[in-house]
Amino acid sequence: MALALGGNVEGTIAGETSPVERTLIWALWQLQASLGDLRSASLYRSRAVSLPGSPIAQPDFLNTAAIARTDLPPDAVLALAKALELAAGRRRGARFGPRPLDIDLLLYDDRRSGLPELTLPHPRLRERRFVLAPLAEIAPDLAVPPDGARVADLLARLGEPGDAGIADDVERIGWGRS
């Protein structure tokens, strides 16, 4: 199972304001407590996804990815992710707007689902460098359904930052440097 985590505004953990990096660390600890052994990537910085005509200006995101093996079914993992987002202070607002914590279930073995509340694999996984870069760091050979493409190959297909038309929008910064 693979998860993507990100955030770009302060959250609230146990009633106290928390910077984004601390919120991500807290979420990883909570996920490990519920799922078991968890392997996480470095911390990355990326520009917020901007939509044409969107009036929402927002700070850069901090992102990471994690992989785990669990006996929990995908819908239980999704429920856990949503509960952690709420506990960190996330409130529903503008789509792609600022948020203290966003956790996406990217992959769950080779399962496929087209349910509106849970699409597996994540529908935009293959086009998001801010998801693929951290995931490739910890699981470059992980196969993505339906064709079994490796995560590292999907990242390579996006091209290199600096290539014509490709922005340098993801930077590996490491933990404790945000």
Catalytic residue among 104, 109, 126, 150: 104
Q: Please say if 71 is a catalytic residue.
A: no
How far, in whole angstroms, is CA 36 from its chain's centroid? 18
104 catalytic per annotation: yes
Q: Which of 45, 99, 128, 129 is labelled catalytic? A: 99
Active site residue 110: no
Which member of 45, 102, 128, 129 is catalytic? 102
Nearest to 72 by CA among 123, 3, 159, 10: 3
Identify the CA nearest to 171 among candidates 64, 96, 66.
64
From residue 174, how far is each of 39, 46, 77 by CA, in Å?
A: 15, 13, 26
Which helix (H) or strand (E) segment holds residue 102: the answer is: strand 102-107
Give me the catalytic one of 90, 110, 111, 128: 90
Catalytic site residue 150? no
Query: Which residues carry out catalysis?
Result: 90, 99, 102, 104
